[in-house]
């Protein structure tokens, strides 16, 4: 299944409290229960953006999840390759 990186502009994301982060995660998971072909892997929080990694059949499915959850999806990019230190071997 294709892997996507989603960039979400969320002012103050880096200062979200535990309850706010939990509420966002719960909302996402609630939407995902109705979208069994989309899987959230993890998210990285920076000062004003959240970068999420998802498996999904298409960018359209990613954007639908964002719409249903009320989340921004400012940029969506399909991952073409993963490289890591072992790639150098």
Q: What is the pTM of this model?
A: 0.93
Q: Quickly list H helices, the chain.
A: 18-33, 59-69
**Beta partners for residue 43, in sequence order:** 52
- For range 52-64, the mean pLDDT: 98
Contact 54, 39 (CB under 8 A): yes
**What are the residue boundaries of the structural domains of the chain, listed by start?**
3-80
What pLDDT score does 17 carry?
Answer: 96
What is the chain's mean pLDDT, rounded? 97
- pLDDT tens-digit map of 28-54: 999 999 999 999 999 999 999 999 999
| Phi, psi of 17, rounded to the nearest 5 degrees | -80, 170
Give domain 3-80's CATH architecture: 2-Layer Sandwich (3.30)
What pLDDT score does 22 carry?
Answer: 96
């Amino acid at each position: 299944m294709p892997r996507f990186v989603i960039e979400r502009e969320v002012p103050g994301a880096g200062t979200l409290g535990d309850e706010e982060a939990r509420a966002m995660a719960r909302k996402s998971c609630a939407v995902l229960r109705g979208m069994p072909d989309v899987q959230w892997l993890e998210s990285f929080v920076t000062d004003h953006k959240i970068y999420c990694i998802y498996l999904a059949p298409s960018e359209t499915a990613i954007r639908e999840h964002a719409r249903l959850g009320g989340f921004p999806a400012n940029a969506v990019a399909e991952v073409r390759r993963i490289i890591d230190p072992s790639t150098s071997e």
